[in-house]
Structure 1
Amino acid sequence: MNDQDRSLGKTAETNSGGAKWDLRHPGLLMKDGEREVHEFMGMWPLKPDADLVKLTNTLAYNEFWTPPVLNFAEATTLLGLIRAARWFVGTSTEFGPTLYFVSQFDSSLDKYFDDFVLNGRENLECIWGQCIGCPTGPQATAYDIVQYIARGQIKTLACYDAFPSLSNSQIEKQADWYAKTQKFQRQVAQGDGSLEDKVNAFLSELTQPFDHVRSAAAIDTDVGNQPQFTDVPERLGLKKAA
C-alpha cells in the first residue's frame, strides 16, 4: 500500500489470508537509507470497572501470561520486530478515562499487526478487554481483538529513534562480535600459545549464532491502586485548582 492510499484512509492488506486491518497513515516515519522504523499509537476508552491490576499483571508476570513460560516482554521479543512499547492510562476529551499504547518496530504496520495476533486471544483480552467495545468471550478471536486495536489508531506527529538503520538483530549481532573480538585481542596480548590456533578459534566463534539479549519491561505493579495525575492543567497554569 502506498502513501497515497494511506492518506486516503484505505485499509491495509495483511499477509494472512488477504484479511484487512483498519489502519491509516501513521504520521511521520523514521528512515535512514532503506531502513525504516515505524510507530503505532492508539487510544481506547476504558470501562468504568476496568481491572488495571489484571492488565498490568498480564504485562509484568509470567504466571499471568498464556502460556506461563513467557511474559509479555519475552513473547514480543520472539516476534523480532518490536523495539519499544509502552502503555499508560490518561484522560481524553473523546473518551474520558483512556488507555494509550505506543509501539516502535521494524517492518511495516501490516506485518506488525499480522504478528501481533500471535500474542493470543487470552493475553490480548486481558489488556484491551478492559476497554469499551473490545470483542471478548469465547466467540472472539485474536484477529477480532487486533482489528479493534487497529481502529483505535491515532497519528504520530513527531518521533525519534537513535539507530533507525539498525534492527534489533543487527545490534545484537554486532554486540556479540564485539565481545568475541575483545576476547580474541586479550588472548593474543598474552603472547603464549599458537597464534594460528587462536585466529582459527576466533573465526570459528564468529560463525556461531549470537545469543538474544533479554528485553526489559518496566511495569508499575501498583498502578491499579494509584490514580492518574489529574492536576496537569493547574500545573500548566490553565485553570485554578478547586
Structure 2
Amino acid sequence: MDHENRSLAELSEPNTSAGAWGLRYPGLVMGNGGKNEVKEFTGMWALQPDADLVALTDTLSREIPVWGGPGKTFSEATTMLGLIRTARWFVARTQDFGGYTLFFISQFDGTLEKYFDDFVLNGKENLTKIWGQCVGCPTGPDATARDIVEYIARGQIKTLACYDVAPSLSIGQIYKAADWYEKTLKFQRAVAKGDGNLDDAVDAFFHELAQPYEPVLSGAMIDTDVAHQWQYEDVAERLSK
C-alpha cells in the first residue's frame, strides 16, 4: 500500500478546494476528450444499532420522490433529473465503526458540487429515511435538508478505480442517439416497403428527427428482503476455505 513511501496522513491531504459542501476530494473524473465527463462519489457512514433497513428500502422502492412530483416512482423521478448514471447502496461490517456501515456509490454527469446541490431536492424527509439510520446524521426539528447533505458529504471516501462505458457522451446524448436510431429504423422499413412517395417519406423522416427525444426510462432494482438475508456475514469464512 505504501510503495511510494507516503504516509497515510500525506495520502489523506485534500487535493481540491473544500467547496460549498466541504468535500475533501473531487472524486474520480472519467472522460476521453469528448464534450462530457463522468464524476463519481463514494461514501460510508456508521449505521445505528437499531437501523431500520426496511424503511430504507421502502423509501427507494415505494416512497414518492419529492423532486419528481405526484405519482412518480424512484426510477421515473431519477430519469427526470437527467444527471445520475448509476447509484448503489449496500451495507457491510467494518472495523472503522465497529459495526455495520452504509455505503453509497454514485456516478453522474456534471460537477460534484452541483450533484450535492441537486441532492437537496430529495428533501429532509426522504434523506432522513436513508441517512437518518446512520450515527450522527442531523435529524432534529431544526435540521434541514442541507444539514443532512453536508453530513453525507463528510462521509466521502476515495475510490480506487471506476469504469464507465461512454463517459464522453452525456445522458442526453445517449437518449438522442437511441431516439435517432429508432426513427432511422422506421424510415428504412418504410422505404423498403416502397409505399408512398419517397420525397414525402424523406421529408417526414427529417421532421421526426427534429422532434424532441423521449428519455429512456431508468431502472432500479431494490432488495426489499435485505434486512433478513445478510449475504456478506460469512464472506471471511468462505474466503478462508
TM-score when normalising by structure 2? 0.88
CA distance in structure 2 between the partners assigned to 1:68 and 1:226 by the alignment: 32
Match of 1:44 in 2: 45
Match of 2:59 in 1: 58
- The 5 A counterparts of 1:88-107 are 88-95=90-97, 96-107=99-110
Matched, 1:177 2:192: no
Residue pair 2:180, 2:209 contacting (<8 A) in 1 also: yes
- The 5 A counterparts of 1:201-220 are 201-220=204-223
- The 5 A counterparts of 1:1-242 are 7-8=14-15, 10-12=17-19, 20-34=20-34, 35-62=36-63, 65-66=65-66, 69-95=71-97, 96-237=99-240
CA distance in structure 2 between the partners assigned to 1:94 and 1:9 by the alignment: 25
CA distance in structure 2 between the partners assigned to 1:157 and 1:42 by the alignment: 13
- Secondary structure in 2 aligned to 1:153? coil
CA distance in structure 1 between the partners assigned to 2:38 and 2:212 by the alignment: 25
Considering only aligned residues, what root-mean-square deviation do their CA atoms show, in Å?
1.7
Residue pair 1:89, 1:99 contacting (<8 A) in 2 also: yes
Deviation at 1:138, TM superposition (A): 2.9
| More displaced 10-residue stretch of structure 1: 100-109 or 138-147 | 138-147
Deviation at 1:10, TM superposition (A): 3.5
Number of residue equivalences: 225
Calculate percent identity across the aligned residue pairs. 64
Deviation at 1:9, TM superposition (A): 5.6
Residue pair 1:188, 1:198 contacting (<8 A) in 2 also: yes
CA distance in structure 2 between the partners assigned to 1:61 and 1:48 by the alignment: 24
Deviation at 1:143, TM superposition (A): 0.6
Where structure 2 has 5 or more consecutive residues not aligned to the other structure, the ranges are 1-12
